[in-house]
């Protein structure tokens, strides 16, 4: 037996100690993420100052001082401007957005017929949501209904003129509805057209190739505004006397042409990414050009360029706001037009309207881009390096 007399030796294990303050929890996180080096600290401080300068007034303007309901401009104007608010008040005029909300959504669509728009919207959501959630079955049927049947129903419902539905002129259309119709029809038209143009551009037939290249590059080289101007001012000149298009249709043609050119380039990118072996394999199986393209190349190419297509769509969605310049009232246009309403004109109205429409645009675009990232991950079959 041995005596344990060595007093300087511990008899029992020391309990595990908590890590030093600087190495755990919030402090560690702060140290690593915010104050790692002196330069980092300076940047953090600058960032905090910026936040302190921007956030409180922003939150105050958006929520605390904001006016949510009210009958007219008096709730959003200061006393010296002829309103009810104390001088020096500044806040969002959500009452304006509230009062005009329906107009922002559908424009001046005949009031008694607005149920038709709501119905189309409900149908659209009901068809789109199941399509977007991967777990829900019957994707093929769903897609056929959404892309084949739904447009016809939507067209009949929105335009009217048959089955006892009164005809609603496109003049009266406006707001988010126009934005959505323009961008969805634009994308629906531009996808097949873009595929054709992209195939044409990669064609071995010189005339076909030249025509496609000229079209794509001419459209891509100029701003959308000029394409829209061309569609609205020059299209009537190109047509025989007496044949006129609806203004809405003209804008649609302009938007679709523009989107097709961009879509063609996106799809061409996908086509180029397909390894040569796929083409040769298809040829060796004796497939014709269209069989090869439709069965082998396009399915792979389109899957590759889904992010690109979504990006084009987001761009198109944002670009529809330019139809305002040719005198149509999409969401941004109708918000902008309502600034002039005497009943609501105040110093806060423009900013409130812009923030609202900005938020709606942001919601759609951000949602789409997130969904595309999600889809990209799901569809990623691991061909990447």
Partner 1 sequence: MAIRPSKWSFSVENFQTPADSVIPLDLTKIIAFDAVREREHGSSAACEATFRKWAGTALLLSHEKNRDLIPNNRKGLVGMKHTVKVILGAAALGMAASAASAATLDDVKAKGFVQCGVNTALAGFSAPNDKGEWTGFDVDLCRAVAAAIFGDPTKVKFTPTNAKERFTALQSGEIDLLSRNTTWTLSRDTSLGFNFAGVNYYDGQGFMINAKKLPGVNSALQLSGASICVQTGTTTELNLADYFKANNLEYNPVVFEKLEEVNAAYDSGRCDAYTTDQSGLYSIRLTLAAPDDHVVLPEIISKEPLGPAVRQGDDQWMDIVKWTLYAMVLAEEAGITQANVEEMKNSPNPDIKRILGQEADSKLGTDLGLSNDWVVNIIKGVGNYGESFERNIGQGSPLKIARGLNALWTKGGLQYAMPIR
Partner 2 sequence: MASQDVAGRADSSLASYFNDPKIRGIVYQVLLFVALVFFIYWVVGNTVENLRRSNISSGFAFLNGRSGFDISQSLISFSSDSRYSRALVVGLLNTLLVAGVGIVTASIIGFIVGIGRLSRNWLIRKLCMVYVEVFRNIPPLLVIFFWYFGVISVLPAPRDSIALGIPLGFETSYGFYGLDYFLSFGSYLNNRGFFLPKTMWGEGAWLIAAAIVVAIAMVWFVARKARQRQEATGQQFPVFWTSVALIIGLPLLAFALAGFPLTLEFPTASTFNLVGGFQVKPEFLALYLALSFYTAAFIAEIVRAGILGVNKGQTEASYALGLRSGQALRLVIIPQAMRIIIPPLTSQYLNLTKNSSLAIAIGYPDLVAIGGTILNQTGQSIEIVAIWMVVYLGLSLATSAFMNWFNAKMALVER
Binding residues (CB under 8 A) for partner 2: these are 32-34, 36, 40, 43-44, 47-48, 50-51, 204-208, 211, 217-218, 220-226, 229-230, 233-234, 236-241, 289, 314, 318-319, 321-322, 324-325, 332, 336, 339, 347, 350-351, 354, 357-358, 361-362, 365-366, 369
- Residue 164 interacting with partner 1 (CB under 8 A): no
- CB-CB contact of 91 with 64 (8 Å): yes
Q: Classify 17 as helix, strand or coil.
A: coil
Chosen from partner 1, partner 2, none, partner binding at 220 (C-beta under 5 to 8 Å by type): partner 2
Q: Provide the minimum distance between the beta carbon of 171 and partner 2 in the complex, in angstroms, as a whole number.
A: 21
Query: What would the two tokens of residue 354 be?
Result: 């812009």
- Residue 184 interacting with partner 1 (CB under 8 A): no
Distance between CA atoms of 191 and 380, rounded to whole angstroms? 22
Q: Provide the minimum distance between the beta carbon of 68 and partner 1 in the complex, in angstroms, as a whole number.
A: 20
Please choose, out of 3-11, 28-36, 75-83, 308-316, the segment that lies near partner 1 by the rule CB under 8 A: 75-83
Distance between CA atoms of 345 and 78, rounded to whole angstroms? 12
Chosen from partner 2, partner 1, none, partner binding at 244 (C-beta under 5 to 8 Å by type): partner 1
Judged by beta carbon, residue 158 or residue 180, the one nearer partner 2 is 180
Q: Applying CB under 8 A, which of residues 60, 245, 278, 303 lies at the interface with partner 1?
A: 245
> 87 to 116, contacts with partner 1 by CB under 8 A?
108, 110-111
- Residue 85 interacting with partner 1 (CB under 8 A): no
Q: Applying CB under 8 A, which of residues 119, 123, 213, 347 lies at the interface with partner 1?
A: 347
Distance between CA atoms of 174 and 337, rounded to whole angstroms? 11
Distance between CA atoms of 136 and 295, rounded to whole angstroms? 25
Torsion sign, CA atoms 257, 289, 209, 264: positive
Q: Provide the minimum distance between the beta carbon of 15 and partner 2 in the complex, in angstroms, as a whole number.
A: 33
- CB-CB contact of 317 with 179 (8 Å): yes
Alpha carbon distances (Å) from 176 to 97, 252, 321, 329 = 13, 15, 10, 9
Query: What would the two tokens of residue 220 be?
Result: 């891509």
Query: What would the two tokens of residue 156 be?
Result: 């009949």
- Residue 161 interacting with partner 1 (CB under 8 A): yes
């Amino acid at each position: 037996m041995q005596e344990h007399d060595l007093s300087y030796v511990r008899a029992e294990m020391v309990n595990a100690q908590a890590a030093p303050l600087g190495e755990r929890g919030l402090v560690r996180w702060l140290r690593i993420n915010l104050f790692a080096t002196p330069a980092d600290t300076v940047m953090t401080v600058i960032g905090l100052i910026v936040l302190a300068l921007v956030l409180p007034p922003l939150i105050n303007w958006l929520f605390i001082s904001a006016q949510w309901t009210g009958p007219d401009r008096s709730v959003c104007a200061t006393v010296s401007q002829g309103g009810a608010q104390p001088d020096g008040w500044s806040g969002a005029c959500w009452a304006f957005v509230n009062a005009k909300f329906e107009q922002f959504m559908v424009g001046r669509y005949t009031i008694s017929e607005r149920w038709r728009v709501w119905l189309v919207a409900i149908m659209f959501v009901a068809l789109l949501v199941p399509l977007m959630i991967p777990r829900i079955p019957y994707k093929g049927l769903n897609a056929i209904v959404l892309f084949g049947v739904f447009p016809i129903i939507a067209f009949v419902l929105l335009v009217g003129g048959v089955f006892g539905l009164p005809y609603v002129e496109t003049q009266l259309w406006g707001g988010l509805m126009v934005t959505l119709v323009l961008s969805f029809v634009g994308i629906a038209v531009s996808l097949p057209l873009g595929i054709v143009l992209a195939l044409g551009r990669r064609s071995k037939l010189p005339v076909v190739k030249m025509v496609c290249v000229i079209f794509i590059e001419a459209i891509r080289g100029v701003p959308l505004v000029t394409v829209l101007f061309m569609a609205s001012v020059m299209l009537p000149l190109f047509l025989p006397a007496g044949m006129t298009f609806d203004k809405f249709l003209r804008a649609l043609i302009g938007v679709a042409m523009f989107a097709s050119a961009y879509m063609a380039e996106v799809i061409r990118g996908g086509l180029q990414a397909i390894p040569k072996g796929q083409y040769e394999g298809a040829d060796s199986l004796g497939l014709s050009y269209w069989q090869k393209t439709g069965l082998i190349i396009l399915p792979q190419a389109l899957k590759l360029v889904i992010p690109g297509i979504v990006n084009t769509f987001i761009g198109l969605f944002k670009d529809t706001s330019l139809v305002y310049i040719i005198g149509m009232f999409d969401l941004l246009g109708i918000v902008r037009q309502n600034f002039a309403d005497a009943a609501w004109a105040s110093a806060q109205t423009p900013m409130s309207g812009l923030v609202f429409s900005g938020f709606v645009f942001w919601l759609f675009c951000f949602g789409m881009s997130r969904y595309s990232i999600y889809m990209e991950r799901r569809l990623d079959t691991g061909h990447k390096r």
